Amino acid sequence: MTSDIETIESIVAEANGKTIGGELGFTFSSALDAVKLCTVHGIAVLGVEIFHVRGETYETTKMSGYELPDQQWGDYVSANNALAEEFIRLNPAGDEHIYVLTTSSWREFCKIQEMKKG
């Protein structure tokens, strides 16, 4: 299933390809740009994974995750994405690494809440 982040051309353009699982992969600098674009488009970055790429395999080297108290979606996006950006800046990785962003739009968030109810 295509996530909302994949429908935003400017974010897809920052990606350096996709993982075996079909997720967008970013280099260090493009990951920072992608987080900024997510903020502009109202997409929350829920976590960042850094993978060491070895041929056709990926090995997780670092992972972040955030869950903040209830707040308005725009505030939630801004707060989460600031934490994601900070994590990326604190964990620069070389060319043999990719950053994968776990994200959610408001639409995706609402859909998950509906699924939980029913």
pLDDT digits (tens, 9 = 90+) for 2-58: 799 999 999 999 999 888 889 999 999 999 999 999 999 999 999 999 988 876 556
pLDDT at 112: 82
Each as own residue / partner, the long-range contacts of residues 112-116 (CB below 8 Å, 24 or more positions apart, any chain) are none
Give me the pLDDT at residue 52, please: 86
Class of CATH domain 4-117: alpha beta
Residue 34's pLDDT is what? Answer: 98
Return phi, psi of residue 27, to 5°. -80, 175
pTM of the model: 0.87
